[in-house]
Amino acid sequence: MTGMQPIMPREGFAFHRTPRRVYFIGFNKTATSSLAIMMMASGVLSIHSSGNGKLFGRPESEQARIPHATQHMLANIEAGRPPILDLEDYDAFMDLTVGPTDLCLQFEAFFAADPNALFILNTRPLEEWITSRIAHRRSVKQAARHYKLTADQVIEKWRSEYHAHHAHARAFFAKQAPEQFVEWDIRSPAAGLSKFLTSHGIPVNPEYYFKIRETGGLFLPPPLRAIIADVNVPIEAGPG
């Protein structure tokens, strides 16, 4: 991102607090960059993976306080603290990964700490997801080194976790909070996702959803004017 010019917010734009937080509990490589941009452009202050302060809307001086958001969440979980302790100013979270560690698998910890929140299982067909994950930087090598597995074993681990995670999320929320959960296939129109969020008081514009090939370099669509580099966009107070 060296040399990237700030993208100024559109006139009159302000982030607004939402009546409840939103957690996207799909794995990485399930449109998380596209979802982050849609949420941010709709005025919902979001954290995508490590934070991405230069792209996703907060000054670098603030990002320095929490230099790596998902590492901070992992440390909170391991210490028995609420996962988003010190990150409460953000209202949406996606791409919950720390290297090869998938925090989305621990969605029950997020629910326990934030039982009023919405949970979205963003997903795609298994083999499409595996192919995309293999192509993502050094994902296979990193996971193989971390878990002391061969490349083939890593891929089988991912397949197993995919099936288990989907089954667990469906069963858990069907029992605990069915109205706060939706499963969304990224091949589907974003209007369906927008309808779910809007019904819970979080208006999101599906026109800001763009398919992005993040693996080859992030592309910011020209119509987008809400993503900023180093300009502090005001946050309007919300309900409660």
**37-60 burial: b if 16+ Cβ within 10 Å, else e:** bbbbbbbbbbbbbbbbbbbbbbee
Q: How far apart are CA 38 and CA 234, in angstroms?
A: 18
Local structure of 121: helix, strand or coil: strand
Phi, psi angles (nearest 5°) of residue 23? -115, 120
The total number of structural domains that make up the chain: 1
> What Å distances lie between residue 154 and 32, 35, 108, CA to CA?
22, 26, 24
Q: Is residue 53's pLDDT more than 70?
A: no
In a domain, 230, yes or no: no
Supply the CATH number for residue 47's domain.
3.40.50
In a domain, 84, yes or no: yes
In a domain, 221, yes or no: no
Q: For residue 238, give the nearest of 209, 200, 208 by alpha carbon.
A: 200
Read off the amino acid at residue 144: A
| Residue 162, domain extent | 21-202
In a domain, 182, yes or no: yes
Higher-confidence residue: 28 or 219? 28
In this predicted model, what pLDDT tens digit does every residue of 171-191 receive, in sequence order? 999 999 999 999 999 999 999
Most distant CA pair in the chain, distance: 52
In a domain, 237, yes or no: no
In a domain, 124, yes or no: yes
In this predicted model, what pLDDT tens digit does every residue of 7-16 receive, in sequence order? 445 555 677 8
User: Which stretch of 11-15, 39-43, 92-96, 118-122 has the lowest confidence by average pLDDT?
Assistant: 11-15
Q: How many CB atoms lie within 10 A of CB 230?
A: 11
In this predicted model, what pLDDT tens digit does every residue of 158-168 receive, in sequence order? 999 999 999 99
Q: Is residue 47's pLDDT more than 90?
A: no
In this predicted model, what pLDDT tens digit does every residue of 114-161 receive, in sequence order? 999 999 999 999 999 999 999 987 899 999 999 999 999 999 999 999
Indicate the length of the chain as a whole number.
240
In a domain, 14, yes or no: no
Q: How many CB atoms lie within 10 A of CB 221?
A: 14
In a domain, 83, yes or no: yes
Phi-psi region of 31 (alpha: psi -120 to 50; beta: other; left: phi over 0): left
* Terminal-residue alpha carbon distance, the chain: 37
pTM: 0.84
